[in-house]
Amino acid sequence: MRNFTIVTSSICVFCVGSLQAHELNIYALGHMSVDGVDDGISSSVYIASNSSRLGVNGKYNVSDDFSVLFQYETGVDLTAQGGNDGNGGAQSSGQLFTKGRPSYLGLQGGFGQVLVGHLPFLDQWANDYNLFADQVGDLGNLWEASGIPGRADNVIYYKTPDFSGFNIAASVVPEEGYDDSTVYAVKGSYTSDALKLGLVYSSIGKGWGVNTEHTGYALTVGYYFDGISVGGGYQQENDISGVYDNDRTSYSAGASMDIGQSGKIKIQFATTSTDATADEADATQVAIGYDHKLANDAILYIAYARMDNDPNVNFSVNGKGHGDKIVPLIGNDPSALSIGIIYKFNHKLY
């Protein structure tokens, strides 16, 4: 009996120790909206699931300063209509779970953080100051339209330790059998209580036989004080799709202000233009909205956005991260009025 007690106690100590070395969380975000969308010719009402998601993440602490990290996240279509829920266009008609979202295995320690998997690419900087992320008027409707992916497969990601608010991150997608097709981005970031800055260089290899790479530069800034935020960004893309002198310049600016303890008004302006003025391929997007916090993890909002397209382009006003994307005809100016609710949770299992 004494030996049984010793063995049982040892197993209990081992199990408790193992649980203490692990951290496991389950999290989710549900985002539904009712959208009235006008494509420039006719209008209709849509029920949209917008980048809703479900995931688990956590870490195993090998030692005090060395951990194994993991995250498994899937898109969720709360309408189950499939194909167009803002999570990447997976063919999932009639299914709840859609396409893989940021998922990885990695290591973390005094050297920084290394992750490998399906990870953010342009989303690393386009969402630095994006007041309408996954809503109508999302900045990505313009910034992601030329081919820099929001997220990418097969990414190797490294981020340095934080040095007084400053860090550098590098993302690389290797060739994997296709010569001259490496994709990479390097981003420097600075964050303090009031200020957030980002500076990025990216390159999209177009494969063997293409003489030029699609490159991009971006600068983002956000400043926060007394319930008010102001910010914006600049993105320059050169040789888009590997075509020499096929360049595009994009800007954004926005502001938000808290109203009482639960409300926030926000406005965002974004524009994109080609360097060749004769192309008539510019666009301007304006969005205005109000968020009302029902609880710490629940927001009810209303947003209106409009896109003014030049005669040779057809940018969408509800494309990036949003369900029921409507693509207008070339030269038409879409608009959308959206009423939505967002609920999220993050629960630590142990």
- pLDDT (tens digit, 9 = 90+) per residue, 268-317? 999 999 876 557 899 999 999 999 999 999 999 999 999 999 999 999 99
DSSP structure string for 12-65: HHHHHHHHHHEEEEEEEEEEEEEEEEE-SS-EEEEEEE-S-EEEEEEEEEEETT
Rounded-to-integer distance, Cα 58 and Cα 134, Å: 25
What share of the chain in percent tops pLDDT 90? 80
Task: Label residue 135 by pLDDT band (50, 70, 90).
Answer: very high
Q: Are 267 and 273 in contact (CB under 8 A)?
A: no
Rounded-to-integer distance, Cα 204 and Cα 240, Å: 9
The residue assigned the tokens 């956005």 is 305
- pLDDT (tens digit, 9 = 90+) per residue, 335-345? 999 999 999 99
Task: Write down the pLDDT at residue 212.
Answer: 83
**Average pLDDT of every residue of the chain:** 91
Task: Label residue 6 by pLDDT band (50, 70, 90).
Answer: very low
322 φ, ψ (degrees, to nearest 5): -120, 140
Mean pLDDT (whole number) for 70-83: 92
Task: Label residue 7 by pLDDT band (50, 70, 90).
Answer: very low
Rounded-to-integer distance, Cα 279 and Cα 276, Å: 6
Task: Label residue 326 by pLDDT band (50, 70, 90).
Answer: very high
Task: Write down the pLDDT at residue 89.
Answer: 75
- pLDDT (tens digit, 9 = 90+) per residue, 80-100? 988 789 998 777 778 889 999
Domain 21-348 has CATH 2.40.37.10: no
Q: Where are the beta strands (DSSP E) in the chain?
A: 22-38, 43-49, 53-63, 66-76, 97-100, 103-109, 112-120, 151-159, 166-173, 183-191, 195-204, 214-225, 228-238, 248-259, 263-274, 283-295, 298-309, 335-348
pTM of the predicted model over 0.85 = yes
Task: Write down the pLDDT at residue 19.
Answer: 52
242 φ, ψ (degrees, to nearest 5): 80, 15
Given a cut of 80, is residue 4 above it in pLDDT? no
pLDDT greater at residue 230 or residue 180: 230
Task: Label residue 210 by pLDDT band (50, 70, 90).
Answer: confident
Given a cut of 60, is residue 16 above it in pLDDT? no
Neighbour count for residue 199 (Cβ, 10 Å): 16
Given a cut of 60, is residue 78 above it in pLDDT? yes
- pLDDT (tens digit, 9 = 90+) per residue, 246-262? 899 999 999 999 999 99
The residue assigned the tokens 């490294």 is 158
Task: Write down the pLDDT at residue 171.
Answer: 98
Given a cut of 70, is residue 8 above it in pLDDT? no
pLDDT greater at residue 217 or residue 10: 217
Task: Write down the pLDDT at residue 130.
Answer: 98
> Which two three-digit tokens encode residue 100?
């893989």
Rounded-to-integer distance, Cα 245 and Cα 138, Å: 27
Neighbour count for residue 257 (Cβ, 10 Å): 14
Radius of gyration of the chain (CA): 22
> Which two three-digit tokens encode residue 133?
């992320």
